[in-house]
C-alpha cells in the first residue's frame, strides 16, 4: 500500500473506530475499573474507593450475594445450553423443509418464520405470559383436551426456566432458520447428484454432504445463539422477576438488581466482568472445537 492509500484508509476508518472505542471499548474498560472499586451508583465516579479483588472475593464467598451469584450463573448456563441445543437442530430441520423446491409457499413460510424474530421481546413476553396462565391459558386448555393436568409453567421452580427457554426458542428459531437456508444455498447441487450416483440415500447425503458443508454456518449460529441467550433479560424482568425461588434469576437480571436497585455498582461491575470472561471462554472453546473438527477431516 502506498502512503496515500494508507492515509485514505485511515481517514475512512477513523469515524467507525472512534464510535467503537467510545461506545464499546470505553464502557468495557470503565466496567473493569469499577469492578475493583467500592462504588455506589447513586454517587459520582469520584466517590469510588479502590478495594482490589474484594468484589470478586464476595462473589465466590458463602455469603448470600455469593450464593445468589452462583445460582444466577447456573441458571444462565442451563438457559443458554437448552436454548442452543434446541434452536440449532430445529433451525436445520426447518431450513431443510423450507429449502426444498417441492414445498409450496416456501418463501411465505420463510417470511413467517423470520417475522417472529422481528417482534419486540417485550410483546413476546407479554403474550406468552398469557399463554402460560395456569387457569385461563390456552396451553393448559389444550393439554386438558388430552387428559393432561394443569401445569404451573412460570409458577413452579421446576418448569419456570424451561418455560422461558421455550419462549426464547419460539422467537429466535426463525432467524437461525434463515441463516441455515443461506448456508444451504451455497452447497452445489452437483455434490448431491454425485452422492446419489454413488448410492447414498437422503440420510447419508445429509450426514455426508449437508452437515459438513454447514459447519461454518452452524458455528456462526452457535456463537450468536450463545450471545443472545446470555443476554436474556426482558422475559425475566417482565414475567418472573427472577422467581419463583430464584429459579429464573439469570445473571443479567441479577446484575441489574445488585448494580441499580441495590446501588452496589462495584459489585455489579465485577459480575459483568465475570460474565464477559465466561462468554469469551465459551466462544473460544466453540471456535477451537470447530477448528479441531476441520483438522480431523
- Other Cβ atoms less than 10 A from the Cβ of 12: the count is 10
Please, what is the average pLDDT of the chain? Answer: 88
pLDDT at residue 269 above 80? Answer: yes
Secondary structure, 3-state, the chain: CCHHHHHHHHHHHHHHHHHHHHHHHHHHHHHHHHCCEECECCCCHHHCEECCCHHHHHHHCCCHHHHHHHHHHHHHHHHHHHHHHHHHHHHHHHHHHHHCCCCCCHHHHHHHHHHHHHCCHHHHHHHHHHHCCCCCCHHHHHHHHCCCCCCCHHHCCCCHHHHHHHHHHHHHHHHHHHHHHHHHHCCCHHHHHHHHHCCCCHHHHHHHHHHHHCHHHHHHHHHHHHHHHHCCCHHHHHHHCCCCCCCCCCHHHHHHHHHHHCCEHHHHHHHHHHHHHHHHHHHHHHHHHHHHHHHHC
Omega prior to 58 cis, within 30 of 0? no
pLDDT at residue 7 above 70? Answer: yes
Kindly state the average pLDDT of the residues 210-216.
91
* 243 alpha-carbon distance from chain centroid: 20
pLDDT of amino acid 104: 61
Q: 81 vs 100, which has greater pLDDT?
A: 81
* 257 alpha-carbon distance from chain centroid: 20
Distances (CA, A) of 251 to 27, 162, 189, 203, 286: 18, 16, 45, 40, 21
Q: Is the dihedral of CA 95, 99, 102, 104 positive or negative?
A: positive
Q: 102 vs 136, which has greater pLDDT?
A: 136
Lowest mean pLDDT among 44-48, 99-103, 175-179: 99-103
Half-sphere exposure of 11 (CA within 13 A, CB side): 6
pLDDT of amino acid 294: 66
For residue range 153-175, list pLDDT tens digits in order: 998 999 999 999 999 999 999 99
pLDDT bracket for residue 115 (50, 70, 90): confident
Kindly state the average pLDDT of the residues 45-61.
92
* 250 alpha-carbon distance from chain centroid: 12
Residue boundaries of the structural domains of the chain: 46-296
- pTM, whole model, 2 decimals? 0.90
pLDDT of amino acid 281: 94
For residue range 28-52, list pLDDT tens digits in order: 999 999 999 999 988 888 889 999 9
pLDDT bracket for residue 101 (50, 70, 90): low
Range 46-296: architecture per CATH: Orthogonal Bundle (1.10)
Amino acid at each position: 500500500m502506498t502512503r496515500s492509500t494508507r492515509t485514505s484508509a485511515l481517514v475512512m476508518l477513523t469515524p467507525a473506530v472512534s464510535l467503537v472505542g467510545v461506545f464499546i471499548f470505553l464502557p468495557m474498560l470503565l466496567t473493569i475499573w469499577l469492578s475493583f472499586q467500592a462504588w455506589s451508583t447513586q454517587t459520582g465516579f469520584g466517590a469510588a474507593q479502590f478495594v482490589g479483588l474484594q468484589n470478586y472475593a464476595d462473589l465466590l464467598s458463602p455469603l448470600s450475594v455469593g450464593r445468589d451469584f452462583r445460582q444466577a450463573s447456573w441458571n444462565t448456563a442451563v438457559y443458554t445450553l437448552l436454548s442452543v441445543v434446541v434452536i440449532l437442530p430445529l433451525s436445520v430441520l426447518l431450513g431443510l423443509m423450507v429449502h426444498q423446491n417441492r414445498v409450496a409457499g416456501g418463501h411465505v413460510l420463510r417470511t413467517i418464520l423470520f417475522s417472529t424474530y422481528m417482534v419486540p421481546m417485550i410483546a413476546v413476553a407479554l403474550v406468552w405470559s398469557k399463554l402460560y396462565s395456569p387457569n385461563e391459558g390456552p396451553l393448559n386448555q389444550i393439554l386438558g383436551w388430552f387428559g393432561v393436568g394443569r401445569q404451573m409453567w412460570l409458577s413452579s421452580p421446576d418448569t419456570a426456566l424451561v418455560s422461558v427457554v421455550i419462549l426464547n426458542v419460539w422467537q429466535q428459531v426463525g432467524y437461525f432458520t434463515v441463516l441455515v437456508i443461506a448456508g444451504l444455498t451455497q452447497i452445489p447441487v452437483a455434490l448431491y447428484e454425485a452422492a446419489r450416483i454413488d448410492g447414498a440415500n437422503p440420510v447419508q447425503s445429509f450426514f455426508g454432504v449437508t452437515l459438513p458443508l454447514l459447519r461454518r454456518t452452524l458455528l456462526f449460529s452457535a456463537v450468536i445463539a450463545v450471545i443472545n441467550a446470555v443476554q436474556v433479560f426482558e422475559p425475566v424482568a417482565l414475567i418472573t422477576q427472577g422467581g419463583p425461588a430464584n429459579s429464573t434469576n439469570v445473571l443479567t437480571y441479577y446484575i441489574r438488581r445488585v448494580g441499580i436497585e441495590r446501588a452496589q455498582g462495584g459489585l455489579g461491575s465485577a459480575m459483568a466482568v465475570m460474565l464477559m470472561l465466561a462468554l469469551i471462554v465459551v466462544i473460544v472453546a466453540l471456535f477451537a472445537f470447530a477448528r479441531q473438527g476441520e483438522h480431523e477431516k
